Structure 1
Amino acid sequence: MFPIRHAKLQGCGKLSMPFHQSDSIILKTYPLGEADRIVAFFSRDHGKLRGVANGARKMKNRFGASLEPLAHSRIQFLEKENRDLVRIQSADLLDSPMKLFQDYDRAVCAGHLIELVDRFLPEHEPQDAVFRLVRITSRALEQGCPIDFAACYFEVWMLRLAGVFPDLFTCSACARRLEAGDARFLAPGLQAVICSHCQHGNATSILVEVVELVRWTLQNPLDGSGCGGDRAVRNLHELNDYWIRHYSER
């Protein structure tokens, strides 16, 4: 973490707004008037924040590409108590997402990552694991990792870090630990799994390949190669999509 300094109000000797510097990931920007922008960014040390970047919409501005979505930038900002928006003083680009946004499908996936971070994370709460997850997934996409697999990997970990990814390895009814080849089914409501002994009625079975894909995801880092067949990735993405909508809309 970088040291905190304080900015002085002009003509006044008192300490006023604390000055912060933090590695950040840009999420979104919005126009503000003719020359400025509101920037939503994910600070490694301070969590999700929104701030005003004066002059960021001008043709010649001091920010350059440092405020583009998914850019990894070191942002210096002033924060005033009881104000929703911080004041962005400067931003130094550490890693550009330009290569990622040159491919339409990968750009769409990048937008999906940004949307999930914005949807799940509360403001002002640092989440170092999520910060590292975004950086890892962005790099894997740039290195050619299959898009659907990278999205699935990110979704699983985003749900897990939010504390809502279902345990696919334990029966929610009898608490029996399920082995790799054991049949398992989605419990009513789809938020947990049950084993074949506890399953009654028309519960939906989970593909063995999906379980193995989740196991691999939780045990391995993401790189440029990917893992899992198309059917498993597609099926897991459908489940993730349900869980994302279910938990983010509560």
Structure 2
Amino acid sequence: MKRRSGEALLLQTIDLHERDRIVVFLSRDWGLKRGAARSARARFSRFGGELQQLAKVHLSWFEKPDRDLVRLGDAEMIRSPGALHTDLEGILVSSYLAEHMQVFAQEDEPDNHLYRLLDSTVQALIAGCDRSLAARYLECWTLRLSGVFPAPRQCPSCGNELGDEAMLAVEGQGFLCPSCGAGAGANRRVGETALSFLRRIGRADLSRLQENGGFEESTLKSVEAIAREVRRAFLGKELRSYGVMQRTLRDLAP
């Protein structure tokens, strides 16, 4: 049995039997992991209130080669998700961000880029960053890091620089100039403001984007639709948390 420890972001907790929980976490040094937290639901559990979604913790755990689940030892809070869990929208956004890592991160394969992306996004949200901006930033960068959503610079078909307008390729794998897009059957136009967002996220972090005034709601809606189309084409399905978030917020809207 090997003992491991390190910094981790908690993605999901699932009740197991009467006293235990399964914890899905993204470790900075060990990748995506699933562990059993024994007696985590007990009244005087050693885990206390540490096992919160998107909490940043220092975890220790034990691994056996023939076991899918590791056994969690101790958890020490580094950063609480704080205000993210004080309202329904924050809880829904938290689940949406966490599911990205559960789907795109690889088990037992550390990915410092994905870890830093989620870590910095949560930190920005706790500091008051606009939630829609943060969600668009993370979903676009997750796709980009997965190699399916390149920055809109050149048309991959003709090689010309993309200007203020582009077309999303049919399979959602990139952006074509309007001429090549029309010839390839692409039907989603990508306007100037959405292209500006997709270019700027490669040069500025979330806090700087927020400080510079952020983006109009219409731009963020456009980026959301583009990322949704690319994600669905890549995964062959939609993230469950996205559908739940959309339906719930729509039902709550005045």
TM-score category, normalised to shorter length: 0.7 to 0.9
Q: How big is the alpha-carbon RMSD for the aligned residues of Structure 1 and Structure 2? A: 1.7
Q: Secondary structure at the match of 1:23?
A: strand
Matches within 5 A, 1:97-112: 97-112=81-96
1:221 lines up with 2:221 in the alignment: no
Partner of residue 225 from structure 2, selected from 238, 242, 246: 238
Aligned CA distance change for structure 1 residues 188 and 241 (closer, same or farther; 3 Å): closer
C-alpha separation between the residues in 2 aligned to 1:116 and 1:39?
Answer: 16
**Contact 2:172–2:233 under 8 Å retained in 1:** no
Q: Secondary structure at the match of 1:218?
A: coil
Matches within 5 A, 1:85-234: 85-179=69-163, 181=164, 183-200=165-182, 203-223=187-207, 225=211, 227-234=214-221
C-alpha separation between the residues in 2 aligned to 1:238 and 1:220?
Answer: 22
The Cα shift of 1:141 comes to 1.2
C-alpha separation between the residues in 2 aligned to 1:40 and 1:68?
Answer: 11
Q: Secondary structure at the match of 1:83?
A: coil
Q: Secondary structure at the match of 1:227?
A: coil
C-alpha separation between the residues in 2 aligned to 1:144 and 1:36?
Answer: 34
C-alpha separation between the residues in 2 aligned to 1:187 and 1:63?
Answer: 48
C-alpha separation between the residues in 1 aligned to 2:111 and 2:38?
Answer: 27
Q: Secondary structure at the match of 1:110?
A: helix
- Greater Cα radius of gyration, structure 1 or 2: 1
**Contact 2:82–2:126 under 8 Å retained in 1:** no
C-alpha separation between the residues in 1 aligned to 2:169 and 2:39?
Answer: 53
Q: Which residue of 2 aligns with 1:25?
A: 9
Q: Which residue of 2 aligns with 1:51?
A: 35
CA deviation profile, 1:102-142 (whole Å, cap 9, x unmatched): 13222211111001111111211111111111111111112
**Contact 2:84–2:125 under 8 Å retained in 1:** yes
Runs of 4+ in structure 1 off by over 4 angstroms are none
Farther off after superposition, 48-57 or 98-107: 98-107
1:36 lines up with 2:23 in the alignment: no
Q: Which residue of 2 aligns with 1:249?
A: 236
Aligned CA distance change for structure 1 residues 177 and 73 (closer, same or farther; 3 Å): same
C-alpha separation between the residues in 2 aligned to 1:24 and 1:161?
Answer: 20
* Counterpart residue type for residue 49 of structure 1: K
How many matched pairs? Answer: 232
The Cα shift of 1:218 comes to 1.2
C-alpha separation between the residues in 2 aligned to 1:37 and 1:188?
Answer: 42
Identity of aligned residues (%): 32
CA deviation profile, 1:190-211 (whole Å, cap 9, x unmatched): 3222223434366332110000
- The TM-score with structure 1 as length reference comes to 0.87
Farther off after superposition, 229-238 or 165-174: 165-174
C-alpha separation between the residues in 2 aligned to 1:75 and 1:91?
Answer: 5
C-alpha separation between the residues in 2 aligned to 1:64 and 1:163?
Answer: 39
Q: Which residue of 2 aligns with 1:68?
A: 52
C-alpha separation between the residues in 1 aligned to 2:195 and 2:111?
Answer: 27
Farther off after superposition, 226-235 or 147-156: 226-235
**Contact 2:24–2:34 under 8 Å retained in 1:** yes
Q: Secondary structure at the match of 2:198?
A: helix
Aligned CA distance change for structure 1 residues 199 and 38 (closer, same or farther; 3 Å): closer
* Counterpart residue type for residue 189 of structure 1: E
